[in-house]
Amino acid sequence: MEPTMKGKTVLVTGATRGIGLVTARELARMGGQVTIVSRSAEKCAATAEALSTAVGNPVEFIAADLSTLGGIMQAAAEFKQRHTRLHVLVNNAGAFFTRRRLTADGYEMTFALDHLNYFLLTNLLLETLKTSVPARVVNVSSGAHEGAKELDFDNLQGEKKYRAWEAYDRAKLCNLLFTYELARRLAGTGVTANAVHPGFVATGFARNNGFFYNVGTWVAGKLFGRKPEEGARTSLYLAASPEVEGVSGKYFFDSQPIQSSPLSHDEALGSRLWQVSLELTARTH
């Protein structure tokens, strides 16, 4: 029997395409009160309308640039103005950048969007999650985290040397360190935190880096990629399944817990990353 999300309030980021879109659609189909977040107001509005029509259940949207601290604060504030409860937060928004770019706050784009976004949005919504227990945080990470062999805090944002895949691997490692540290801090609260490896999914991911890179990514996706529906399956499992009620601090692939890299389980590293992330987002607290 399909899980029900009736009476549950859900927030899904990066939900105008790919696995985020499928995740939002299916959670709304299960009866959840879903709000999607993405940068483009036009895309958000069109997606929310299409989803509402497709599933027969109203889907809301918030347009916000989650690569910036101001955008994350805006998204959290708008959500809390509308809702007093949040049962499921799916941190899904992310991107890959072949060249080093800085956000409006002066932070490296991959680190800001793929890690600081998860960290800050979750913390800004933490009290709402705690008042809604049982509640769940689902962080979309990647098997790419295994490519990060260290976390050099002197080169956390590619200040000394920027290589695109190293930056992405590092950000996905940060997702796991954050998830595990969050789970430790939430122990006993009724809020769980788990991470997902969706696999290589044929979406628009990484197709924001120029013509030749876009074509190569598209071809690879067609040849080897999973469909978004398959990539979203584990996010949906962690968001909705009664089988994982109370399960926290785990990393899942194909709806099964698996081992992440030894580095991702370094508690001292996770604690230090938390503190550094707090300092980088301090102006918002």
Strand 256-258 and strand 251-253: the pairing is: antiparallel
1 domain residue, yes or no: no
pLDDT over 80 (residue 209): no
Tell me the C-alpha distance between 18 and 205, whole Å. 8
Task: Find the DSSP H helices in the chain.
Answer: 18-29, 41-55, 69-82, 109-111, 117-124, 126-130, 164-186, 211-224, 228-231, 233-240, 267-280
Question: According to the model, what pLDDT value does residue 228 have?
Answer: 85
Q: Is the pLDDT of residue 133 over 80?
A: yes
Please tell me the distance from the alpha carbon of residue 181 to that of residue 11, in angstroms, as a whole number.
21
156 belongs to a structural domain: yes
Q: How many domains would you assign to the chain?
A: 1
The domain in which residue 60 lies consists of 9-284
Is 4 among the domain residues? no
Nearest of 134, 160, 153 to residue 239 by alpha carbon:
134
> Residue 1's pLDDT is what?
63
* Mean pLDDT, rounded, for 177-181: 98
Specify if 2 maps to a domain.
no
pLDDT tens-place string over residues 228-244: 899 999 999 999 999 99
> What Rg, from alpha-carbon coordinates, does the chain have?
17
Question: What is the percent of the chain with per-residue pLDDT over 90, rounded to a whole number?
Answer: 88
pLDDT of 87 higher than 80? yes
Do the domain assignments include residue 94? Answer: yes
Tokens of 224: 């080897």
Residue 3 belongs to some domain of the structure: no
Q: Is 251 a catalytic residue?
A: no
pLDDT for res 21:
97
* Residue 205: both structure tokens together: 């991911």
The position carrying tokens 């029997």 is 1
Tens-place pLDDT, residues 90-107: 999 999 999 999 999 999
Q: What is the mean pLDDT of residues 158-176?
A: 96
Would the pLDDT of 203 be above 70?
no
pLDDT band at 284 (very low <50, low <70, confident <90, very high): low
Residue 243 lies in a domain: yes
Catalytic residue among 107, 168, 180, 237: 168
Q: Which helix (H) or strand (E) holds 61?
A: strand 60-63
74 belongs to a structural domain: yes
Say what the pLDDT of residue 212 is: 42
Cα–Cα distance measured from residue 68 to residue 210, given in angstroms and rounded to the nearest whole number = 23
Q: Considering Cα of 100, then 101, then 103, then 109, what sign does the dihedral take?
A: negative
Check which CATH number belongs to the domain holding 133 and give it: 3.40.50.720
Mean pLDDT lowest among 10-14, 31-35, 110-114, 205-209: 205-209
